[in-house]
Amino acid sequence: MKILVVNCGSSSIKFQLYSMPEKRVLAKGLAAKIGEEGSALEYHVGRNAYQVDRAIPDHGEGMKQILATLIGSEDAILDNLDEIGAVGHRVVHGGEEFTGSVEIGQAVLDSIERCSDLAPLHNPANLTGIRAAMRALPEVPHIACFDTAFHATIPKMGYLYALPYEVYKKYGVRRYGFHGTSHRYVAAQTAKLLGKAPEETNCITCHLGNGCSMAAVRNGLSVDTSMGLTPLEGLVMGTRSGDIDPAILFYLADKGYDMESLNKMCNKKSGLLGVSGISNDLRTLREKSDQGDSRAQLAIDIFCYRVKKYVGAYMAVLGRVDAICFTGGIGENSAEVRAAVCRGLEPLGAVLDPELNERRIGHEGDFGTKNSRVRLLVVPTDEEGVIATDTFDIVMQGKTYDGNQLLPVAD
């Protein structure tokens, strides 16, 4: 079966076409700057790269161009669109309604729309992509896979904030967590690398990129995570502040900042960019630091220190930790960040091997010493592969979402 995986943002559509169940990628690409000047479609088939410089005024046109490349391009993969057996969609926020991936019907669309209040930057864009894909491919099943679903197992003491309880009951204010498909994949892959069953594995997963989050995984299940009601909480990120004293916002409001400017500051102007004043890209900051820029180095130091703090907290939460796992663009490719995070963890059983750490850049495997009680691992993530697998399993099992019963997440 061929499955199309779609990840729709406010001005972009990422896609991958899989052959299942072998999970082989046939094509992948990105429709970027949708509705803007300079919009274009880039895609890869095998080692061949292509670009279509054609206006993409909206997501419907973006989906049409993506499907057209699959059947009518120079390196077409499909003879016709009937070969696509299902479409899997990334959805950022499922609230408390979705604990697993589900087939999309009107009830699911309505639920995703209700959750848009909790994720106003993400869910409306996800819905736009789903509707565009459903119009383009109306005869095939469409499956929603939620970033929040993996964290549905966090206990109440872990997800509730110490605010008046009615704020949770009335408005759903609680920790939800994100990057769930990534944490889920990394936790499962870690169990394989350790030669253990997922239900016997405790690990700390560190998804470090422009957006960053961590999860404490006990017996294969998420029991805590760093992001909260929104993706703003937790670690320092590319442009997001992560944890701050909330009274800072009240203080700045008294100084004349309005809600819009505070929101923009915390989400778009903070993090690595805000501290350094240069860039949200860690590679750029590394170059500037090497040239003597102290604020670039300070931004890197704060970033690494915050990750280390969460590692310590999650080691306390889990008690027994089998592995600390790094994934995402920074986690997989920055030996410097991994070294900084792990420095000083030796008394806690995590001992880094500097040579192995350098050799693991972009490659899966251990970077701890042979006598490290806690395994240190690089595990490249595969969020699209998780969505493809869930989509395949749901379609092949013939299960549907009836509005009451939620599907379990596939192994």
C-alpha span between 254 and 24 (Å, rounded): 55
Give the helix ranges, DSSP H, for 269-334. 271-276, 282-290, 294-318, 328-333
**What single string gives the DSSP state of each residue in 49-114?**
EEEE-----SHHHHHHHHHHHHHHSTT---SSGGGEEEEEEEES--TTT-SS-EE--HHHHHHHHH
* DSSP 8-state assignment for residue 148: T
Q: Nearest to residue 86, comparing CAs of 19, 17, 4?
A: 4
Contact by Cβ (8 Å): 89, 71? no
Q: Assess whether 147 carries a catalytic annotation.
A: yes
251's tokens: 């203080």
Residue for token pair 């704020």: 167
Q: Which residues pair with 29 in a beta bridge?
A: 15, 43
Q: Per the residue annotation, which of 53, 110, 147, 258 is the catalytic one?
A: 147
Q: Which residues pair with 8 in a beta bridge?
A: 13
Cis peptide before 21 (omega within 30 of 0): yes
Residues present in the chain in total: 411
C-alpha span between 274 and 332 (Å, rounded): 24
Identify the sign of the CA torsion 145, 150, 154, 159.
negative
- Catalytic (active-site) positions: 147
